[in-house]
Chain A
Amino acid sequence: MLEVTGLKVSYGGINAVKGIDFRVGPGELVTLIGANGAGKTTTLKTLAGLLRPAAGRICYDGREIHAAPSYQLVRLGLALVPEGRGVFSRLSVEENLALGAYCRNDRAGVGADRERVYGLFPRLAERRGQLAGTLSGGEQQMLAIGRALMSRPRLLLLDEPSMGLAPIMVTRIFETIRTIAAEGVTLLLVEQNARLALEISDRGYVMESGAIALAGNAAALLNNPQVRHAYLGE
């Protein structure tokens, strides 16, 4: 589904991502863990077409996409839930969801998908007329995920969905991520909360200062002494 080879991204002279390789198979839930500044968010933004890679290839669904702008990628079924949620805070929940379906023209399908999102997050249905900025952090994260689902993605990129949320909310968000994966959406998850991320994932990659340090099955990584020491606080 997604095949990344030798990806390099730099901001001015600073190399944030220094040539990484990884892949996400169809239907897989893959997680990218690592400390602050490891290059995880940069990688996701590049995949979503918001940043240009300095070198390397990104192959999505058999297509080279490293030069494609984000607005084309959304149409190809690749959606990003940005870091810090990025909901349109002065627009209502409903308007946010409508913007998520910006690229689609099938009204009936969009309406059905909106109900699907409300089914996934009943809290959003209760607050459909409310301004996104007045929602709690967890609800905003639900909205951000719901909004991304409105574009009917086949590959969903999630950037730190647990950031700044209460533990109970984090649990709920991760349950939803699992539900979305079970529905057949391929997911690439970037997280600092390594334990939770690995627990729900099939495979994982560990990023350290712009490079991939470790890769493997999620279960194996959870038991890896190095990972346990550095990321699970043991």
Chain B
Amino acid sequence: MFGRFDISRRSAAGWIGIALVVLALLLLPFVVDATLGRAWVRIIDVALLFIMLALGLNIVVGFAGLLDLGYIAFFAVGAYSYALLASPQFGIHWPFLALLPLGALVAATFGVLLGAPTLRLRGDYLAIVTLGFGEIIRILLNNLNRPVNITNGPQGITLIDPLQVGGFSLSRTHDLAGLIIAPVHSYYFVFLACALVSIFISLRLEDSRIGRAWIAIREDELAAAAMGINTRNVKLLAFAMGATFGGIAGGLFASFQGFISPESFALLDSIMVLCMVVLGGMGNVGGVVLGAILLTALPEALRYIGPLQQRWLGEVYVEPSDLRMLLFGLALVLMMLFRPAGLWPSSIRRRELSDEDEPRAEQARA
């Protein structure tokens, strides 16, 4: 498993492959900008944020097996931590390099706070409680404008400071030796770096001692305790780690949008992130990344159905927004029928759901 990080064993072809991937990732926003338009660069930026979110939820759901339906709350906590301390709301304008770790810390704290009461719950009950917590956070943000105005209620927080490092503001267009770097491009590189770090951390966690403890808890909590695993702390750590990813993504999201309101953190968003994890392949980092990209890009691509109908049929018969949810639902049903373990499943899920092992298992029981 550690082979893939062993640089000394990498062949020349491997290095060329890596160089090509790096080059492709560097050029991607500019190529997309020139071909599909700037809106799609923005979509890629959002997809990168969702990769971070999905990887965070994957720690909780995929690795530790704790079904969390309120995960978007940590995204909200991160976003509001950033927004409140870098906007005219309180007139505070802290630098983002200080706010990002702070947002991560606040989100991790919330992860532990919301995780602690759920420690004795499992399965359906855990899902219901986390769903409730997610809603509580959203409703709190919606109502914390009276008697003291903290969150500005449903109006949300506007004019959030963009990312700025030294004198380099990501909200301005830069001209780098003829290469025009618009804000969406700059944000792309920041988000890409964060997403890559998230992927790296996820991969390392999976192979670590703590990763094995999560798997043990997912498989059989009582047996895990009998192995000497401190199930309470290990579960809390999963909640905290997952929340950290969400909190950082939230901070980046707030600075990227410049505006946030409680509306952005609804139950549907939690479910969307969960769908990315499940559809991509629960527990498998590559699958989760794939799920996040597909589920961000597909709904956007389906927007073109409106103009296409106009051109071919002369009239818009089905509103793209209606069709999106319809096709999304259909995709989910088809996925669960034909690839129940996800598009790119983890090896354990694959074993669990493959037919191959069935006869042997039956035999063993007989």
Contacts A50-B225, A137-B364; is A88 near B219 (CB within 8 Å)?
A: yes
As a 0/1 sequence over residues 200 to 213 of chain B, the CB contacts with chain A under 8 angstroms (1 = contact) are 00000000010011
Q: Which residue of B lies closest to A147 (CB)?
A: B227
Which of B223, B224, B348: most chain A Cβ within 10 A? B223
Complex Cα distance A137/B361, Å? 11
Contact B219 A89 (CB under 8 A): yes
A82 lies within 8 A of B223 (CB): yes
Digitize A145-187: 1 where CB-to-B-CB distance is under 8 Å, 0 elsewhere.
Answer: 0011001000000000000000000000000000000000000
Interface residues of A, dominant DSSP? mixed
Is A87 positioned at the interface, with any CB of B under 8 Å from its CB? yes
Contacts A131-B357, A133-B361, A134-B360 known; A50 to B222 CB distance under 8 Å?
Answer: yes
A131: chain B residues at CB < 8 Å are 351, 357
* CB neighbours of A98 from chain B (8 A): 212
**Which of B216, B222, B230, B361 touches A99 (beta carbons < 8 Å)?**
B216
Binds B, one of A9-17, A53-61, A72-80: A72-80
- Among A130-150, those with CB < 8 Å from B are 131, 133-137, 139, 147-148
Q: Are B219 and A70 in contact (CB-based, < 8 A)? A: no
A82 adjacent to B361 (CB under 8 Å): no
Q: B227 near A74 (CB under 8 angstroms)?
A: yes
Question: Closest approach, in angstroms, between the C-beta of A190 and any C-beta of chain B?
Answer: 14
Q: Are B222 and A134 in contact (CB under 8 A)?
A: no
Taking the closest CB of chain A, its distance from the CB of B206, in whole angstroms, is: 13
Residues of A within 8 A of B175 (CB): none
Residues on B with C-beta less than 8 A from A86 are 220, 222-223, 226
Verify if A91 is at the interface (C-beta below 8 Å from B): yes
Q: Which residues 330-366 of B have a CB within 8 angstroms of A?
A: 348, 351-352, 357, 360-361, 363-365
- Would you call B228 and A71 a contact (CB within 8 A)? yes
**Given A90-B351, A91-B348, A134-B361, does the pair A100, B227 have CB atoms closer than 8 Å?**
yes
CB of B67 within 8 Å of the partner chain: no
Q: Does A124 contact B (CB under 8 A)?
A: no
Q: Which residues of B contact A137 (CB under 8 A)?
A: 364-365
Q: A133-B361, A134-B360, A136-B364 given as contacts; is B213 within 8 A of A102 (CB)?
A: yes
A74 to B229, CA, bound (A): 9
Interface size class of B (residues with CB under 8 A): 20 to 34
Shortest beta-carbon distance, A45 to chain B, in Å?
9
Asked whether B222 lies within 8 Å of A102 as measured between CB atoms, the reply is no
Q: Which residues of chain B are near A49, meaning CB under 8 Å?
A: 225
A48's nearest neighbour on chain B, judged by CB, is: B226
In this complex, which of B215, B220, B230, B352 has the most chain A Cβ atoms within 10 angstroms of its Cβ?
B220
- Residues of A within 8 Å of B348, CB to CB, are 90-91
Instruction: Give the residues in chain B near A134, CB-CB below 8 Å.
Output: 357, 360-361, 364
A135 near B228 with CB under 8 A, answer no
Query: Closest CB-CB distance, A154 to chain B, in whole Å?
Result: 14
Q: Is A6 part of the binding interface, using a Cβ–Cβ cutoff of 8 Å?
A: no
A102 CB contacts on chain B under 8 angstroms: 209, 212-213, 216, 227-229
For residue A230, CB closer than 8 A to chain B, the reply is: no
CA distance A181 to B271 in the complex (A): 53
Do residues A50 and B226 form an inter-chain contact, with CB atoms below 8 A? yes
Q: Known: A71-B228, A102-B227. Contact between A135 and B222, CB under 8 A?
A: no
Find out whether the CB atom of A90 lies under 8 angstroms from the CB atom of B219.
yes
Candidates B220, B230, B365; contact of A88 at CB < 8 Å: B220
- A contact residues around B219 at 8 Å (CB): 88-91
Question: A69 contacts the other chain (Cβ, under 8 Å)?
Answer: yes
Residues of A within 8 A of B224 (CB): 99
| Chain B residues positioned under 8 Å from A88 (CB to CB) | 215-216, 219-220, 223
Task: A50-B222, A70-B226, A89-B219 given; name 4 further pairs at CB < 8 Å.
Answer: A82-B223, A102-B229, A133-B361, A134-B364
List chain B positions with a Cβ less than 8 A from chain A: 209, 212-213, 215-216, 219-220, 222-231, 348, 351-352, 357, 360-361, 363-365
28 contacts between A and B (CB under 8 A): A50-B222, A50-B225, A50-B226, A69-B230, A71-B225, A71-B230, A71-B231, A74-B227, A81-B226, A86-B222, A86-B223, A87-B223, A91-B219, A91-B348, A98-B212, A102-B212, A102-B227, A102-B228, A102-B229, A131-B351, A134-B357, A134-B360, A134-B361, A134-B364, A136-B364, A137-B365, A139-B364, A151-B228
